[in-house]
DNA sequence: TTCTGCTATATCATTTTGATACATCAAGAA
DNA sequence: TTCTTGATGTATCAAAATGATATAGCAGAA
């Protein structure tokens, strides 16, 4: 399948902490990833539906609806993770393939590092590092190759892009160093 | 129309420098923006088609095909900007609305600052700055609001996101300062 | 009171992606 | 020599995501 399981993972990971309804889920999704833009409802609801069909999550009654009369108001649909979903989540969290390193998947994957085994965390961080190092090399090469025919603004843009990559590389290196310390001391 | 004119601008901007065929256009597009991922052919070719239909660009004979016999080989299609396209490009480059500040459009817009009037550059940079400042505020707020119930990794992720935004803000501030110097000295 | 904006679910046309197909060519391995 | 790999090059398509919009209750402000 071509479908990215990043969203799937994010939903299962959030629901594992507590049941949520779609709107709240989207808000959490947005803040969870920091800078990444909010996911659209047109992506969220189909994802929820497919997860429900697969049996990983289930719709439950709205807990806040217990008290008031709820006169005509459209009921909130609260989603909970199922046992099957928990198993699937564990599967996703034990994965450390290339799809966990790239831009698309790394953020979400990292957000749930707290529920990820140390060795898996390690492999993912290493993968991310090599991916970034690769990109840095490409960027440097393309910059020195085209330096002459580029104006100052294009150059500044590429320089800024390179800075961003180098910055993330330092971040990853710090994280790896910290992982080393934690692993050794435990 | 909902269609983003960022790609349109990028194509016209590149073709304004020299005629190119699709494949080469895509490569330039990728390096031009630094870190942003390459655009897909499924987006590029329809865009070229729509620009051709609109009369902004035109297909010309492949200049490299002049010499060899070109036996059966699929001909490269070289695109050139038309006079009409140059007018349209000038229009796009004089624009400084919100669509030029956001993540989607800013990179491409900045890449062609060399062909943009100083006052327009200024407005775009200011817009970008306020957009980033806004995001920084949102991020800070959401971080302090959820600090308690977040584990170290989620926190680290958000912190990293905030760092990225702050970094870009400094970059923009530097650029604005430089614009001030250039404008005054000229 | 009306208006704005937030909560909340849902759908849809349009766009974009990622994959794939097809074809040529150069370089290097077998 | 032949064979395979990888780059160049145009093109299309199913699946997925976006951004807009519809619907509707509610709260607070003007």
Neighbours of A44 (CB within 10 A): 19
Asked whether A32 and A10 are in contact (CB, 8 A), the reply is yes
Q: Can you tell me which residue has the tokens 């036996």?
A: B71
Q: Which pLDDT score, from 0 to 100, does residue A37 have?
A: 79
Residue A83 has pLDDT above 50, yes or no: yes
Instruction: Please compute the mean of the pLDDT values over residues A19-26 and round it to a whole number.
Output: 94
How many CA atoms does the CB half-sphere of B96 hold within 13 Å?
15
The larger pLDDT score, comparing residue A120 to residue B147, is at A120
- Phi/psi at A57 (nearest 5 deg)? -135, 165
Q: Which pLDDT score, from 0 to 100, does residue B62 have?
A: 60
Task: Indicate yes or no: CB of B111 within 8 angstroms of CB of A37.
Answer: no
- Nearest by CB to residue A162, choosing from B34, B37, B113, is B34
CA–CA gap between residue A78 and residue A165 (Å, rounded): 39
Residue B126 has pLDDT above 90, yes or no: yes
CA A124, chain centre distance (Å): 13
For residue range B31-85, what is the model confidence (pLDDT) as tens digits? Answer: 888 766 789 999 999 999 999 999 999 998 665 543 333 334 567 899 999 999 9
| CA distances in angstroms from B147 to A10, A70, A101, listed in the order given | 19, 33, 26
Q: Which residues of B touch A142 (CB under 8 A)?
A: 31
pLDDT band at A76 (very low <50, low <70, confident <90, very high): confident
CB contact set of A74 (below 8 Å; sequence gap of 6+): none
Q: Which residues of A touch B164 (CB under 8 A)?
A: 34-35, 164, 167
Among B29, B33, B6, B30, residue whose Cα is nearest residue B17: B29
Establish if A120 touches chain B: CB-CB under 8 angstroms. no
The lowest-confidence range among A79-83, B120-124, B179-183 is: B179-183
Chain B nearest-CA distance from A161, in A, is 5
Q: In this structure, is the CB of residue B52 within 7 Å of any atom belonging to strand D?
A: no
3-state secondary structure of B80: strand
Instruction: Please compute the mean of the pLDDT values over residues B93-114 and round it to a whole number.
Output: 92
As a whole number, the mean pLDDT across chain A is 88
Among B53, B54, B64, B55, residue whose Cα is nearest residue B24: B64
3-state secondary structure of B118: helix
Q: Which pLDDT score, from 0 to 100, does residue A71 have?
A: 37
Q: In this structure, is the CB of residue A67 within 7 Å of any atom belonging to strand D?
A: no
CA–CA gap between residue B11 and residue B32 (Å, rounded): 11
3-state secondary structure of B6: helix
Chain B interface test: which of A6, A20, A104, A154 (most B C-beta within 10 Å): A154
CA–CA gap between residue A39 and residue A95 (Å, rounded): 23
Q: Which pLDDT score, from 0 to 100, does residue A59 have?
A: 93
Among B130, B81, B99, B110, residue whose Cα is nearest residue B175: B110
Asked whether B32 and A154 are in contact (CB, 8 A), the reply is yes
Q: What is the pTM of this model?
A: 0.89
Q: Which pLDDT score, from 0 to 100, does residue A66 have?
A: 37
Among B86, B16, B6, residue whose Cα is nearest residue B47: B6
Residue A112 has pLDDT above 70, yes or no: yes
The larger pLDDT score, comparing residue A48 to residue B32, is at A48
Residue A165 has pLDDT above 90, yes or no: yes
| CA distances in angstroms from A44 to A24, A78, A99, listed in the order given | 11, 14, 20
| Nearest chain B residue to A132, by CA | B35
pLDDT band at A63 (very low <50, low <70, confident <90, very high): low
Asked whether B120 and A153 are in contact (CB, 8 A), the reply is no
pLDDT band at A67 (very low <50, low <70, confident <90, very high): very low
- Phi/psi at A20 (nearest 5 deg)? -145, 160
Residue A175 has pLDDT above 50, yes or no: yes
Strands (E) across chain B are located at 20-21, 57-60, 78-81
Token code pair at residue A156: 């500044």
CB contact set of A22 (below 8 Å; sequence gap of 6+): A41, A44, A45, A48, A77, A79
Q: Which pLDDT score, from 0 to 100, does residue B66 have?
A: 37
Separation of CA B131 and C1' C24 in angstroms?
Answer: 48
The larger pLDDT score, comparing residue A171 to residue B31, is at A171
For residue range A125-137, what is the model confidence (pLDDT) as tens digits? Answer: 999 999 999 899 9
Asked whether A70 and A99 are in contact (CB, 8 A), the reply is no
């Amino acid at each position: 399948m071509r479908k990215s399981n990043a969203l799937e993972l994010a939903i299962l990971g959030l629901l594992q902490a507590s049941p949520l309804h779609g709107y709240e889920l989207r808000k959490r999704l947005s803040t969870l990833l920091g800078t990444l833009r909010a996911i659209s409802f047109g992506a969220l609801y189909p994802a929820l539906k497919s997860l429900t069909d697969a049996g990983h999550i289930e719709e439950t009654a709205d807990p806040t609806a217990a008290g008031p009369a709820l006169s005509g108001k459209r009921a909130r649909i609260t989603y909970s993770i199922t046992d099957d979903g928990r198993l699937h989540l564990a599967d996703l969290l034990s994965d450390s393939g290339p799809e966990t390193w790239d831009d698309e998947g790394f953020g979400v994957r990292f957000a749930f590092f707290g529920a990820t085994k140390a060795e898996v965390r390690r492999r993912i961080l290493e993968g991310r590092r090599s991916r970034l190092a690769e990109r840095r090399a490409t960027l440097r090469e393309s910059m020195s190759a085209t330096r002459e025919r580029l104006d100052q603004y294009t150059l500044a843009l590429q320089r800024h892009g390179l800075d961003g990559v180098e910055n993330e590389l330092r971040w990853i290196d710090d994280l790896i160093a910290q992982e080393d310390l934690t692993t050794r001391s435990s």
